[in-house]
Amino acid sequence: MGSSTLSLQIAGLSLDYPGMLASGVLGYSAESMFRVIEGGAGAVVTKSVSLQPRCGYANPTVVQVKSGLINAMGLPNPGIQVYAEEIRRSKTLIRQPLIVSIFGYSAEEYAVVAGKAVAAGADALELNVSCPHVKQTGSEIGQNAALLFEVVKTVKATVKVPVFVKLSPNVTDIVHLASTAVDAGADALTAVNTLRAIAINVETTRPILNNIKGGLSGPAMKNVALRCVYDIREKLANIPIVGCGGISSWQDAVEFFLAGASAVQIGTAIAFDSPKVFQTINQGIETYLKKKHLRSVNEIVGLSHH
């Protein structure tokens, strides 16, 4: 049971704790997502799922750099037909909100996957319009206002559950795209996906990732993600924001709340710590709130905008 200090409502979902599992991390199976819930997460976001299965790229798919990782997994997933069964199994195991991340190559495809995910039991959807390393989907949609509008609008017309739109930081004006998503009907925004990046090995003179380029995550990107949340909150005061990018301590999480996020997502920190990283962060936030004589996380959301 969540303490009332840490529990919150976001886009109609009730979370016992403010941290969610970020998409693409351990999200294949019901059991591993359940383990993250046991570790103190308030909700889980699944792996990004598409209409057809994808094998992803050959290794190396993840490379460690200073203070972060660069990954180009290539959106491996078994396709919604097969994954629907995992969603059903997850719903029997997990009581907390299950947010299914989806992607497609057209607005229609997003809508088909959305419909199937909701039919299988998804409590909410997160539209991956921000993966930086797969062609014709992800950030190629999220960086194009017209396409983004069409995708969000089509999905919203298909399903009744809350729709989160996960934004790309690899844009000139994130606020413009955020407001496009909101105009198209987004119920919440997740900010942000990974930063487009490359790692090169000096001995072999080769890029290390098989896909050459990938997305930077972890502490290295934290202050960029934080700035994205701050910018969005400044211009769009009413849309709930889920902060994501490089969070690994309670201080990081609190910074995101202060910038304007109502909840946070954590991915990379799980690799360097464990699924219990959520518990540690929860305790830290709780102590901080007590010290400040505050009763809920909600009271610090956006507080840095003086």
Partner 1 sequence: MKLSDYLITKTNTLRTTNIIDVKTESLSVKTYTFKDKQCAKAKPGQFLMLWIPGIDEIPLSILNTTTEKGIISVAVKNVGNATQHLHNMNPGATIGIRGPFGNSFTQNHGNILLIGGGTGTVPLIFLAKNLSNKTKKITFITGAKTKNELLFMDQLSNVCQEKNNLIATTNDGTYGLQCLVTEPLATLLNQEKFDAIYTCGPEVMVKKIFELTQKHKLPLEASLERLMRCGMGLCGSCVIGKYRVCRDGTVFNEEQLNEIKEELGTSKLNFSGNKIPI
Ligand X SMILES: Cc1cc2nc3c(=O)[nH]c(=O)nc-3n(C[C@H](O)[C@H](O)[C@H](O)COP(=O)(O)O)c2cc1C
Residues annotated as part of the active site? 131
170 near ligand X, judged by CB under 6 A:
no
CB of 158 to partner 1, least distance (A): 24
25 near ligand X, judged by CB under 6 A:
yes
Region of 20-28, 106-114, 185-193, 294-302 interacting with partner 1 (CB under 8 A): 20-28
| DSSP state string for 141-197 | HHT-HHHHHHHHHHHHHH--S-EEEEEPS-SS-HHHHHHHHHHTT-SEEEE--PEEE
Are the CB atoms for 217 and 246 separated by under 8 Å? Answer: yes
- Which pair of structure tokens corresponds to residue 11? 């886009």
Taking every pair of Cα atoms in the chain, the longest distance, rounded to a whole number of angstroms, is: 56
204 near partner 1, judged by CB under 8 A:
yes
CB of 221 to partner 1, least distance (A): 12
Would you say 64 or 283 has its CB closer to ligand X? 64
CB of 225 to ligand X, least distance (A): 7
262 near ligand X, judged by CB under 6 A:
no
Distance of alpha carbon 154 from alpha carbon 137, whole angstroms: 15
170 near partner 1, judged by CB under 8 A:
no
Are the CB atoms for 157 and 110 separated by under 8 Å? Answer: no
Mask of contacts with partner 1, 280-299, x by CB under 8 A? Answer: --------------------
Would you say 50 or 154 has its CB closer to ligand X? 50
Are the CB atoms for 139 and 168 separated by under 8 Å? Answer: yes
* Torsion sign, CA atoms 228, 246, 71, 50: negative
Q: Which does 244 bind (CB under 5 to 8 A by kind): partner 1, ligand X, none?
A: ligand X
CB of 44 to ligand X, least distance (A): 11
| 34-70: b (≥16 Cβ within 10 Å) or e | bbbbebbbbbbbbbbbbbeebebbeebbbbeeeebbb
131 near ligand X, judged by CB under 6 A:
yes
- Candidate list 190, 248, 265, 282; residue touching partner 1; CB under 8 A: 248
Q: Considering only CA atoms, which of 7, 8, 10 is closest in space to residue 187? A: 10
- Which pair of structure tokens corresponds to residue 92? 């029997």
24 near partner 1, judged by CB under 8 A:
yes
32 near partner 1, judged by CB under 8 A:
yes
Q: Which does 101 bind (CB under 5 to 8 A by kind): ligand X, partner 1, none?
A: ligand X
- Candidate list 16, 23, 34, 255; residue touching partner 1; CB under 8 A: 34
| Cβ atoms within 10 Å, residue 27 | 26
Write out the binding residues for partner 1, residues 48-77 only, by CB under 8 A: 53-56, 58-64, 66-69, 71, 73, 76-77
- What amino acid occupies position 256? F
Q: Considering only CA atoms, which of 115, 126, 157 is closest in space to residue 46? A: 126
273 near partner 1, judged by CB under 8 A:
yes
Q: Considering only CA atoms, which of 8, 103, 59 is closest in space to residue 214? A: 59
Binding stretches for ligand X (CB under 6 A): 22-25, 47-48, 62, 69, 71, 73, 75, 101, 128, 131, 166, 193-194, 217-218, 244-247, 266-269
- What residues make contact with partner 1 under the rule CB under 8 A? 24-29, 31-32, 34-35, 47, 53-56, 58-64, 66-69, 71, 73, 76-79, 82, 201, 203-204, 206, 208, 210, 218-219, 248-249, 267-274
